[in-house]
Amino acid sequence: MGRLFRLLLILGVLGAIAHATFFQESEPGFPPPRRGVPDAFRAPAPPDVFPQRPLPPPSAADPRGIIEVPARGGNAQGTAAVIDSRGVWLTARHVAEGCREVLVEGTDRWVRTRVAALHPQTDLAVLATRGAPPAFQLADGRLRLGQSGWAIGYPKGVPSVVEGQLLGRARLGFAGRMRGEAAVTVWTERRRTPSGDGPLSGISGGPLVDGEGRIIGVAVAATERRGRFYAASPEGMADMIARLAPADRPAAAAPLDVRLDGARAERFGAWAMEARMVTRVGCRG
């Protein structure tokens, strides 16, 4: 009896080890938090010269447009940015909606996410992972006409930074596999790195940051012919965060303490993508 008990005990221990080995959830694979951004982004940058007139609030009279969101046709990619280092990511709804599973690219592997929320009107979504790189701070929403912003992401899979100038507001309606209508900000493209003039598809969900590295919008659409791109508005982002369950709601991130101009923003974007603060999103259809 004693020998049988010992045999059963050994088998039980081996079974527990096998279960832990083969069924444990894998770690996210993101780099450990950095001490801070490089000093090269901290020194005072030349001021951005633009009018001081504030961006007016959203209005029913804002110009309207329609974006046709095609049906899922297999796997697709977009961009996401981390807004809480516990593992909260902001992206575009059309990137994450309708996917069998959604992944973000970690340091050495793709990491499965949980879709925490899809906004019913605005083209925004929130993803969740276990852990993440350092987070971006969300801006307070006070934008000024003519100011600069930099969209960071992966158009056509290529790490890129797109500089824009704020023109005003519009309303975008969605047709196809998405429905809804939302306020957006409208930007004219001034330059992109690496240089090119092709479609910006793949940058959808990427953060639009201001001169202090704060997220002021999320890239959602572009019109190649007119050289403009559109971003989810600060009001839309605030509403997205307010809709999250308390456990998924991001804590306020610390300021990155950066001062960006055109040249620095390009280098900052490359650094943020290398650090996986901005990363690719994969949709498995």
pLDDT of residue 206: 97
pLDDT of residue 48: 64
Give me the phi and psi of 53, to 5 degrees please: -70, 125
Percent of the chain at pLDDT above 70? 83
Q: In angstroms, what is the C-alpha Rg of the chain?
A: 21
Within-domain flag for 23: no
Q: What is the mean pLDDT of residues 48-61?
A: 82
Within-domain flag for 6: no
Residue 182 identity (one-letter amino acid): A
- From 15-29, 42-56, 111-125, 200-214, the region with the lowest mean pLDDT: 15-29
For 114-159, list the strands marked E by DSSP: 114-118, 125-128, 148-153
Residue 2 has pLDDT above 60, yes or no: no
**Closest by Cα among 125, 103, 105 to 116:** 125
Within-domain flag for 2: no
Within-domain flag for 238: yes
Which residues does residue 172 pair with via DSSP β-bridges, in sequence order?
65, 182
Give me the phi and psi of 192, to 5 degrees please: -140, 155
Domain that holds residue 119: 54-284
**Closest by Cα among 169, 168, 151 to 160:** 151
Within-domain flag for 1: no
DSSP 197-228: -S--TT-TT-EEE-TTS-EEEEEEEEETTTTE
pLDDT of residue 17: 34
Within-domain flag for 175: yes
Contact 258, 212 (CB under 8 A): yes
Local confidence band at 74 (pLDDT 50, 70, 90 cut-offs): confident
Residue 194 identity (one-letter amino acid): P
Greatest Cα pair distance in the chain = 88
Contact 122, 199 (CB under 8 A): no
Instruction: Find the CATH number of the domain harbouring 134.
Output: 2.40.10.120
Q: What is the pLDDT of residues 230-274, one digit of tens each?
A: 999 999 999 999 999 999 999 999 999 899 988 899 999 999 999
pTM of the model: 0.85
Residue 23 has pLDDT above 60, yes or no: no
- From 10-24, 77-91, 151-165, 199-213, the region with the lowest mean pLDDT: 10-24
- For the chain, how many structural domains are there in total? 1
Within-domain flag for 20: no
Within-domain flag for 212: yes
